[in-house]
Chain A
Amino acid sequence: MSDRLPGALTRRPARILLLAVALCLPPFYLDAFWLRIGLFSMAAAIGAVGLSLLSGTAGQLSLGHAFFLAVGAYGYAYLAGEPGPGLPPVIAAVLAVLLAGAAGGLFSPVAGRVKGIYLGIATLALVFLGHHVLLTADSVTGGFNGRSVPPLELGGFAFAASDPELVVLGVPFGAEERLWFLGLALFAFTWFTAGGLLRGRPGRALAALRDSETAAAVMGVDVARHRSAAFVVSSMYAGLAGVLLALAFRRVVPDYFSLALSIDYLAMIVIGGLGSVAGATAGAVFVTALPLLMTRYADQLPLVAAPGSTEGAVGPTEAARYLYGAAIVLVLLYAPDGLHGLARRVREHLRRRRPRTPATDPVPPPPQPAAAARPKEHTP
């Protein structure tokens, strides 16, 4: 149930190509505001895919994702910048991702043993302790004010605005336009690696672990090793997302990497549908873009006041939070498999309707997967 969409896409290479071309177009038509929304969404999608592997597929509730994002972001800023070793940015980025993975690995004594809700709260500790370290280890993290992030350079090509302006097809290419393509490449990498992981042996082993640990162990799955490995891989995706976020923000501050960020990521995978790459992506775009769009169009929305207006009014950020809090509650109670499940149900509905016209036997309804076989009717 986890990988329908990527599977369907690879069967139709033409559709992939079309999608890739469509995703390459925005930098030529949209301004920096929209590109930044796209960038943040892509970074969030990478992180959400990582969390989806861990919480959706392997069933390990994690509220510590913000910590691993912070390790990636700060790792890159420190390794590539001053004060710090000042490594070449590409190497620093790779090391930052590995560092996030290592942090996940260090947590494995806890992650391998502690289960369910206990694990959720244990990872909560990571966020608070990590935030404390970010605030106090001034020499590395820059303390409360954070530190600036050096731009990424790849073979002499910098992902930042350059002085002799780079113009491609009549469009000036600043930092956002360049980073868009970097984000796209990293996101494509995430999409295919995570899809492969989910479809292959590791994905099946993790799903087996989620459904029944004892049964999985009997089938020959090394429980502790797989639980830890899921944590390491998920942390590495989080680290990658952290690096991309740091590049997009150009500055990292401790307060960004708070519990609220962890909850945002949990909301993404829940709204999108647990355990699916496409769902995590959709959820990431929804959760990331919603507040930014609401802020931008606050003056045109009914019931929403412009930012900074009279006290007691519902501002755009609040309106966005109401919407997405409500989205979590409604999605979980009425469509527990999220946007991904909704999309699948709509597709199945259409597919069932189409063969009616040749007047053959009615197609029997497809067997429902166990998770969807709830007695409750889905109401829109």
Chain B
Amino acid sequence: MTGFLDNVLNGLALGAVYALVALGFVVMFKASGVLNFAHGSLLLFGGYLIAVLHDDLGFAGALALAVLATAALAGALDRFLLQRGGLDEQSAHIQTIVTIGIDILLFTDLARRIGGDLLPLGDPWGDAVTELGPVTVADSRLAAIVVSTVVIGTVFALFRFTSWGLSLRAAAEDLEAAALMGVRLGRVRAGGWALAGALAALAAVFLASFPAPGLERTTGQIALHAFPAAILGGLASPVGALAGSLLIGLTEALVVGYQSELHVLGEGFGDVAPYAVMLLVLLVRPTGLFGGKGAARV
């Protein structure tokens, strides 16, 4: 039973981190209609900055700077590259492929700098653990759950209560109508991207801290698991991203936890389990759990 609780708690922590990344996908998608394939590299960029800067600035300073820098990079990428391709829905598909090119550029450069190294981020949790009744959890996991909850709550509040959030929701509903109502699409979009970038840099901290050995070049690829999480919930739905992330995190943790019982599926199935779950969901609901039906118009 403790084994089960361990796995569930691990799954929740993992899901909380995926939620940071998946929420980023959703914010960017709502703002621009673009699915950002460069998100993993943005995450790696944030993590790399923290790893390089934490000796000089301390962890908090490095984190703050990395979050700001990643947000600025993401916002600039959208404002100065993607938006050149147009703001309408048709060009959003093309821009999705542009982000693949951006990802190749960013990842190649970061991977070249990181090489085969494992970079510590200097986070304050280290490898400390806490006893919670019968189960033992790593502090970094608890921090992941707490920080993610707070941050995600803040993002939802931003959506709900600020004028930027209102503009974003209006733009996602109907681009032209929003533009006619005086929403500055370009700015709102870039703002969404910047927010997503900040979330990615934050997620990098938890993906690279204990029990992971540190930041490596493949850390960004782990963020790919947030793809199924975002799709599963329905790309345009923040709540869906949250639900999808928890589902994916739990699935992954449970599959890894009960690997010996699930031997038929082969070793390392935990890594691909999110995708299997996503395919099953898409078979039943082609636009995700919380995705709208979308009426066809001619």
- Decide: A332 and B97 in contact? CB cutoff 8 A: yes
Interface: A344 (CB within 8 A): no
- Chain B positions 6 through 40: 1 when the CB is less than 8 Å from some CB of chain A, otherwise 0: 00000000000000000000000000000100000
Tell me which residues across on chain A come within 8 A of B104, comparing CB atoms: 263, 267, 321, 324-325, 328
Give CA–CA (A136, B263) in the complex, Å: 11
In the docked arrangement, what's the CA distance between A136 and B269, Å? 10
The closest CB in chain A to the CB of B100 belongs to: A263
Q: Is the CB of A120 within 8 A of B35?
A: yes
Contact A135 B266 (CB under 8 A): yes
A141-181 Cβ-contact flags toward B at 8 Å (1 or 0): 00000000000000000000000000000000000000000
In the complex, chain B residues whose CB is within 8 Å of the CB of A131: 272
List residues of B (34-84) whose CB comes within 8 Å of A's CBs: 35, 81, 84
Question: Which residues of the other chain, B, contact A333 by a CB distance below 8 angstroms?
Answer: 81, 84-85, 98
Q: In the complex, which of the residues B104, B224, B298 has the most CB atoms of chain A within 10 Å of its own CB atom?
A: B104
CB-nearest residue of chain B to A117 = B35
Give A144 Cβ to nearest chain B Cβ, in Å.
Answer: 11
Smallest CB-CB separation from B99: which chain A residue? Answer: A329
**Complex Cα distance A314/B109, Å?**
9
A298–B62 CA distance with the chains assembled, in angstroms: 37
- A379 to B: closest C-beta gap in Å: 11
Say how far B244's CB is from chain A's closest CB, in angstroms: 12
Nearest CB on B from A328, distance (A): 3
User: In the bound complex, do residue B97 and residue A328 qualify as a contact, i.e. CB atoms below 8 Å apart?
Assistant: yes
CB distance from B84 to the nearest CB of A (A): 5
- Is the CB–CB distance between B101 and A329 below 8 Å? yes
Residues of B in contact with A, size category? 35 or more
Q: Which residues of A contact B97 (CB under 8 A)?
A: 266, 270, 328, 332
Contact between chains at A135 and B268 (CB < 8 Å): yes
Complex interface bits, B228-267 against A, C-beta within 8 A gives 1, otherwise 0:
1001000100000000000000000000000000000011
A128 beta carbon closer than 8 Å to chain B? yes
The winner among B81, B278, B279 for most chain A CB atoms within 10 A is: B279
CA distance A333 to B86 in the complex (A): 9
In the complex, whether B128 has a CB less than 8 A from a CB of chain A is no
User: Smallest CB-CB separation from A336: which chain B residue?
Assistant: B94
Q: In chain B, what residue has the closest Cβ to A136?
A: B266
Give A120 to B97 CA distance when docked, in angstroms: 11
Distance, CA A115 to CA B98, complexed state (A): 19
Kindly state the separation between the CA atoms of A129 and B270 in the bound complex, as whole angstroms.
11
Q: What is the minimal beta-carbon distance from B176 to any residue of chain A, in angstroms? A: 16
Interface size on A, residues (CB 8 A): 50
Known A120-B35, A328-B104; contact A132-B268, beta-carbon cutoff 8 A: yes
Closest CB of chain A to B241's CB: distance in Å? 13
Any B CB within 8 A of the CB of A1: no
Is B150 part of the binding interface, using a Cβ–Cβ cutoff of 8 Å? no
Q: Is the Cβ of A114 less than 8 Å from the Cβ of B94?
A: no
With the chains together, A263 CA to B96 CA distance in Å? 12
- A-B contacts counted at CB < 8 A amount to 128
Query: CB distance A118 to B231 under 8 Å?
Result: yes
In the bound complex, residues from chain B placing their C-beta under 8 Å from that of A218 are 298
Most buried by B among A133, A259, A336: A336
**Complexed CA–CA distance, A246 and B93 (Å):** 33
Chain A neighbourhood of B142, CB < 8 A:
none
Q: Which listed residue (B108, B115, B269, B288) contacts A311, Cβ 8 A?
A: B115
Q: Which residues of A contact B228 (CB under 8 A)?
A: 121, 125
Chain B residues whose C-beta falls within 8 Å of the C-beta of A215 in the assembled complex: 298
Check: A213 CB closer than 8 A to any chain B CB: yes
Q: Does B149 contact A (CB under 8 A)?
A: no
Give the distance in Å from the alpha carbon of A346 to the alpha carbon of B101 in the complex: 25
**Residue B105 is within 8 A (CB to CB) of chain A in the complex:** yes
Which residues of B lie under 8 Å from residue A263 when comparing CB positions?
100, 104
**Residues in A308-355 with C-beta less than 8 Å from chain B:** 311-312, 314-315, 318, 321-322, 324-329, 332-333, 336
| Given A214-B298, A267-B100, A312-B112: A118 touches B287 (CB 8 Å cut-off) | yes
B286 x A332 contact (CB < 8 A): no
- Does chain B have a CB within 8 A of A193? no
Contact status A322-B108, CB under 8 Å: yes
A128: chain B residues at CB < 8 Å are 271-272, 275
Question: What is the chain A residue whose CB lies nearest that of B288?
Answer: A118
Whether A332 touches B235, Cβ cut-off 8 Å, given contacts A213-B296, A214-B296, A325-B108, is: no
Are A117 and B101 within 8 A (Cβ)? no
When the two chains form the complex, which single residue of B84, B103, B272, B282 contacts A129, counting CB atoms closer than 8 Å?
A: B272
- Indicate if A26 sits at the interface (CB-CB under 8 A): no
**With a CB–CB cut-off of 8 A, which chain A residues contact B132?**
none
What is the CA–CA distance of A333 and B82 in the complex, to the nearest angstrom?
Answer: 8
Interface check A116, CB cutoff 8 A: yes
Cα separation A35 to B250 with both chains bound (whole Å): 50
CB-CB < 8 A to B184: which residues of A? none
Q: How far is the CA of A218 from the CA of B105 in the complex (A)?
A: 43
> Chain A residues near B101 (CB, 8 Å)?
267, 325-329, 332
Confirm or deny: B180 has a beta carbon within 8 angstroms of a beta carbon on chain A: no
Whether A124 and B102, one on each chain, are in contact in the complex, defined by CB atoms closer than 8 angstroms, is: no
Q: Tell me if B160 is interfacial: C-beta within 8 Å of chain A.
A: no
Q: CB distance A321 to B108 under 8 Å?
A: yes
* Chain A residues with CB under 8 A of B1: none
Query: How far apart sit A328 and B100, CA to CA, in the bound complex (Å)?
Result: 8
Not counting A109-B283, A110-B279, A114-B286, a sample of 17 additional A-B residue pairs whose C-beta atoms are within 8 angstroms of each other reads A120-B35, A121-B227, A121-B231, A124-B275, A129-B272, A131-B272, A132-B271, A212-B298, A214-B298, A215-B298, A322-B105, A322-B109, A325-B103, A326-B101, A329-B101, A333-B98, A336-B94
Shortest Cβ-Cβ A-B pairs, 9 listed? A328-B101, A136-B266, A325-B104, A125-B275, A325-B105, A329-B101, A321-B108, A113-B286, A132-B272
Q: Could you list 8 examples of A-B contacts with CB < 8 Å? A: A122-B278, A314-B112, A315-B112, A322-B109, A324-B104, A328-B97, A333-B84, A376-B84
